[in-house]
Structures are given as C-alpha cells and as structure tokens.
Amino acid sequence: MRFAPFPRLRSLATQLLCTYAAALLVALGTMAGLLFLSSRQDAGIPTQEQLHRMAHLLQTSLQFDPAGVPRSDRPLRSEWSWVFSDFAADAKYRVLDSSGRVLVSSNQDATALTSPGRPFDSTLESFTSSSGDQALFVRTERMIHGTQTYYIQVAATRRFTAFVHALTARILVSDTLRLAFVSMLLVTVAVYFTLRRVLKPLRETSAAAAQIDARHLSRRLATRNLPTEFLPVVTAFNLTLDRLEKGYLVQRAFLADAAHELKTPLALIRAQIDMGGTTDREVLLEDIDRIARQVNQLLHLAEASETQNYVFESVHVEELAEDVADYLRRLAERHRVYVEIRCAPTTPPVEADRGAFFMLIKNLVENAIQHSPAGGTVAVGVAADHLSVSDEGPGITAAEFPKLFKRFWRGPTRQSEGAGLGLSICAEIAAAHKWDITARSTGQGAQFIVFFAALERCTSR
C-alpha cells in the first residue's frame, strides 16, 4: 500500500491557510520593498508636495482675531508652535497680506522670504534661498480667509527635511512591521478556527457516509449547516444512494420472485421422481423445458438490466424485423399465424444495441403469436419514429394494463406457459435506449408501440 508523503497538504484547511500566508507574505514583501526604495531616495531635498503639506498644516493651525487678521501674539496653536520655535533656523514661515507686508512670522522677522536680490513676488510659488550655511527651500501659497487674501510662506532646510524623513521612515517601518505581524497572527488564528467551524459539518457528513452499507441503504446524508460549495456533492451522493436502494430492492424482489417461480416446478419434478414407476417421462421433460425457459428469460432479463454491456450502432429496423420474423417462422406455423412486416416508405436507422433490439422485437412478436387465434395475422409496423406489433387476440382489459410490464406477471390465458418475463425484458431494453414502450387495445386485439427518442435516431449513413 502506498501512502502520500505529506497527507496534511491535501487538507482543504491547510491549503487555505498556506494560500493566505503566502499572499500576506507577498503583500508584506511588496510594502517593505516600497518603504526601502522610499528611504533610499535623497531625503535632503524637500519636494513641493512636502512643502505644500507643511503650508496646509500651517493654514489649519493659524489663529485669527475677531477682525479676521492673524494674531501676532499667538499665531499658531500650541501643538505646532514648538516646531518653529525649537527648529527656528531650519523651519520658517511667514504670513503676508495682499500687499506683501509681513503680518506674522516664526522668528519675529518682518521681512518676507525672497530669492536673493529680488523683492517679494506672490506669483513665484517656489524658489531656493539661504539660511546661514544651509540652503532654504521656500514655497508661497495663497490663502483666502473671509474676504481677505493672505499669502503663506513656508521654508525648510536640507538637514531638517532629512531629519524628518529619517524619523518618519523609521517610525513608519517599525509600526508597519508590528502591525503586519499582529494582523497576520490574529487573522491566521481567526481563519484557523473559522475553517474548523465551517468544515465541522463536512467531517460529520464524512463520518455518516462511512456508516452506510448494504444493511443501511435507507440512510441519507444531512445537508443542514453544510457550506454551499459542498451541497451539490452531498446532494449527488444522496441521489446515488436513492438509485442504489431502488436497484437493491428491485433485485431482492426479483430474486424472491425467481426463487418462488422455480420452486414449484422443481417440487413437482421431485414429487414425480419420488413416485417411482408412476413417473411420466413426457411430463418430466415438459417441466424441465419450462424451467429451462424460465432460466433463459432470467438470464435475458439480467443482461437487459446491465446497460454498460450495450454496444450502440446504426441499426435498420426493417431488416431486424425481417430477421425476427424468419427466426419465429416455425413458431408462427405451429400456431397457424401469419407474421406480416409493414414498412413506411422511408425509415431511417436508429442507434441501438442490435442484440438487445432483436430480443425486444422477438418478445413482442412471440407474445403476439401466442395470443393470436389460428389463421390470425401479427402485423409488425416500422415507421420513422416508432415500431408497432399488433395481434388479433382477445386484447387487453383495463385491469391488466398496470401489470403488463411487471416481472413474473402472466395473463389469464397464459397461466401454463412462460415465466411472465418477456414484456419486462422489453421494458428494460426500451429504458436502456431511452425509448418509450406502450400498449393499447385496438378493438380487434392488442398493439404494442415502441417510440424511438428523437435524440437517439441517427441519420442515414
């Protein structure tokens, strides 16, 4: 016996957890790569986006007096004012009116930030100045407050920007890795217990399926609380059990009926043998022939029920009907019955198992011969979509219609002949071909009709 080296890897829960872990690792790797590339950039030169965010932060932190003018005594809220006081040489700001006059500044300097040798220009958004030995990067933005127009200038040195960038990157990377680790741990635990809860009904269903055997075919797997994805599988399994149970019950009933049918003639034969010299040889041979006929019909019925043994091919129905008529010629002559084949002008072939189809037509014609009076006619009609067999016998009563195709049922005129399996064999063969077989009384006898399914009919070759 061969075993899989890692059976746990075939578990659905394991595969889902591995897939989630792999996806999370890829996401974390991508994030780490982006952070690494960001940290490798030249952090000493502030971008316009950074200066813009600094200007926006300054706008939201400004405080105004009742007249709508920036307060000069305490221009910024306390949570941000320390930045410009503690880093006065590296971070600066100015608030100017529409004429360019400085209203508020970070270092009490009333001079606007300008490029060397040039006056204040509100249209010049960005430029580079100097603060001591450091380059100072400046941005000017317009601000509307009420009906007044103001200009905000923000500036930062290279070393200040590099410090903020390094500090922010370190905090960001550290916090991101901590958050990713905690998230991965929590989500993995949550996924694990969720999968256990979701797959619990499946494990229970598997255990219930293992308890089903030939003595418990009536059991079915419960579909309650099952995940939607597994419902089709369990439903299909239950339908398979339905078919198995039905087939098992039919076969058991068939065996019981067969045993009953064979028991009587065997008992009669034994009784005649026990009588010694009074045994009638002709009677014994007749009983043996009857048993042989029943055994043959049982074998034919078993073969007709095994649809996997069918070999479908293109069959010309009129030719097969002629073969049947020729095969039963002696039986028809013994009963003094004439078998007539009536074919439509065009009869396309059908897809069928030749041997099984021959057996179907033979049983119907043989049944019609045995029910027809001497001098009667059995008509075999072949059309494009059906085959019919008609006799001139007593017909079928209303009480007999529901029993026609039941196994071991024989009409009142056939109590001493056959085993009552001929029409059952016809029904099995028709079902295997997905055909319909029906019977009716014509007023002058009985007629059996086999309708060929449209999809089973083949075109002429």
pLDDT greater than 90 at residue 389 = yes
pLDDT greater than 80 at residue 361 = yes
What was the pLDDT predicted at 187?
76
Most confident segment among 32-46, 188-202, 250-264, 272-286: 188-202
423 contacts 363 by C-beta, under 8 angstroms: yes
Q: What value does the mean pLDDT take over residues 2-11?
A: 51
Q: What value does the mean pLDDT take over residues 241-254?
A: 74
- Across the chain, mean pLDDT equals 77
Q: What value does the mean pLDDT take over residues 348-370?
A: 88
For CA atoms 123, 128, 130, 131, the dihedral sign is positive
Q: What value does the mean pLDDT take over residues 163-174?
A: 71
What was the pLDDT predicted at 263?
65
Q: Which of 19-28, 98-107, 116-125, 271-280 has the least mean pLDDT?
A: 271-280
What was the pLDDT predicted at 158?
78
What was the pLDDT predicted at 110?
80
3-state secondary structure the chain: CCCCCCHHHHCHHHHHHHHHHHHHHHHHHHHHHHHHHHHHCCCCCCCHHHHHHHHHHHHHHECECCCCCECCCCCECHHHHHHHHHCCCCEEEEEEECCCCEEEECCCCCCCCCCCCCCCCCCCCEEEEEECCEEEEEEEEEEEECCEEEEEEEEEEHHHHHHHHHHHHHHHHHHHHHHHHHHHHHHHHHHHHHHHHHHHHHHHHHHHHHCCCHHHCCCCCCCCCCCHHHHHHHHHHHHHHHHHHHHHHHHHHHHHHHHHHHHHHHHHHHHHHHCHHHCCHHHHHHHHHHHHHHHHHHHHHHHHHCHHHCCEEEECHHHHHHHHHHHCHHHHHHCCCEEEEEECCCCCCEEEEHHHHHHHHHHHHHHHHHHCCCCCEEEEEECCCEEEEECCCCCCCCCCHHHCCCCCCCCHHHCCCCCCCHHHHHHHHHHHCCCEEEEEECCCCEEEEEECCHHHECCCC
What was the pLDDT predicted at 457?
41
What was the pLDDT predicted at 460?
36
pLDDT greater than 70 at residue 209 = yes
Q: Which of 125-134, 249-258, 354-363 has the least mean pLDDT?
A: 249-258
For the stretch 457-461, contacts whose Cβ atoms lie closer than 8 Å and that sit 24 or more positions apart, written own/partner, are 457/348, 457/350, 457/351, 457/384, 457/385, 458/314, 458/348, 458/349, 458/350, 458/351, 459/348, 460/348, 460/349, 461/314, 461/349
| pTM listed for this prediction | 0.47
Q: What value does the mean pLDDT take over residues 399-414?
A: 69
What was the pLDDT predicted at 418?
54
Q: Which of 223-232, 323-332, 437-446 has the least mean pLDDT?
A: 223-232
What was the pLDDT predicted at 458?
40
Q: What is the pLDDT of residues 269-323, one digit of tens each?
A: 676 676 665 556 666 666 676 666 666 666 666 666 666 677 888 989 999 999 9
pLDDT greater than 60 at residue 77 = yes
What was the pLDDT predicted at 189?
81
pLDDT greater than 70 at residue 412 = no
CA distance 170 to 334: 109
What was the pLDDT predicted at 79?
64
What was the pLDDT predicted at 74?
77
Share of the chain above pLDDT 70, in %: 75
